[in-house]
Every structure is written in structure tokens, then in C-alpha cells.
Amino acid sequence: MIRKPKPDQLSKRERQIMDVLYRLEQSTVGQVLAQLGNNPHYSTVRAQLGTLEQKGHVRHEEDGLRYIYFPVVPRDKAGRFALRHLIDTYFEGSAEKVFSALLAGEAHHLSPEEIGRLRQIVSGNGKSGNGKSVRRVASRIRKTATKRQERSRVKSEPEIRPRRNGTSTAGGKR
């Protein structure tokens, strides 16, 4: 059964394999193996590609006796999923914290032209890479983060169930 891909549920090696597939666009097990570090075994890479296929991240086509593997999810979409996971995990869903962290580490490396473009983007006069204003993107990120916080709060509240004797218990445990 092929599942809907969830990029945040990939192991380190699976992410490395996906990086190779995105870079090469299509690849055999041998080509992936040649690109990976730490010299994994051929059968290990083949098994991991099979796992990625079951997870819905790759597909394959037969070419004689070889399988040619292709990424299923476009790289930009996978990047957005990964970025969203990064923001939620390390920056509490805050685009402001991400931006601050990026600038704190890189501000001394920015050219005056880059600083000018960033000012335009932040002021709303510039566009992000896909043509949407950064304000709209940041607004959508905040809304998504708020919804996730509300869902996690609801899940963390104990469920109160009545007992047979008329008393109640939290979490459904007796």
C-alpha cells in the first residue's frame, strides 16, 4: 500500500537518498550508492529505496533487469514540508524567530544589495521566490501554527469518562 508522503518522517539515510534522487532526477541503486557516504551495502540501499517507495516518496520503472527510481514529490514541495517541520520543531512555528535566527548568523555576510532586497521583501514591496508577498506567507504560517497549537492543546486535555458507579475518571483510566 502506497501512503501519502510525509517528509518529516524520513530517517537521515532516507533523506540522503532523496537528496541524491532530486540531484540526479532519476537513478539506479548503483548510482545512489556511488553518491552516498559511509559505504552502505547495495542491498541496504535497495531496501531503503523500497521503503521510500512504500512511504510514497519514490516510484520506479523497470529498465531490463534494473529499476530506475524517481522522486514522487516535487523538490520544492518537499522543501516546503521540510521547512514547515523545521519551523514548528525549532522555532515554535514563528516565522519571526526563523528570520531572526537567519540574520543573527549571517548578517555580517550580507551584501548591501541583499540587505536592500530583504528590506523590500519585509516591507511587502518585494516578493518571495514563488511570487507571493512575504506578509501573506507569514500570515498563513501563523494561522497554521495557531491551529496546530489548538489541536495539540485539545489532545493533551484529559478525557473525563463516567464510571459505572457514578464517579468519573480523567483520561479514561480506572
Whether 108 and 139 map to the same domain: the answer is yes
Model confidence at 174, pLDDT cuts 50, 70, 90, reads: very low
Question: Whole-structure pTM over 0.75, yes or no?
Answer: no
Domain boundaries, position 50: 7-71
Whether 15 and 58 map to the same domain: the answer is yes
CB atoms within 10 A of CB 68: 15
Q: Is residue 161 part of a domain?
A: no
Q: What is the CATH number of the domain that holds 33?
A: 1.10.10.10
Q: Is residue 168 part of a domain?
A: no
pLDDT in tens, 93-122: 888 888 777 777 666 677 788 878 877 877
At residue 3, the pLDDT reads 59
Write the burial class of residue 35 (CB in 10 Å: 0-12 exposed, 13-18 middle, 19+ buried).
Answer: middle
Instruction: Domain count for the chain, please give it.
Output: 2
Whether 63 and 95 map to the same domain: the answer is no
Q: Is residue 53 part of a domain?
A: yes
Q: Is residue 78 part of a domain?
A: no
Q: Is residue 80 part of a domain?
A: no
Q: Is residue 162 part of a domain?
A: no
Whether 64 and 106 map to the same domain: the answer is no
Pairing type for strands 160-162 and 66-71 reads unpaired
Model confidence at 160, pLDDT cuts 50, 70, 90, reads: low
pLDDT in tens, 41-71: 999 999 999 999 999 999 999 999 999 999 9
Highest averaged pLDDT of the listed ranges 75-79, 101-105, 153-157: 75-79
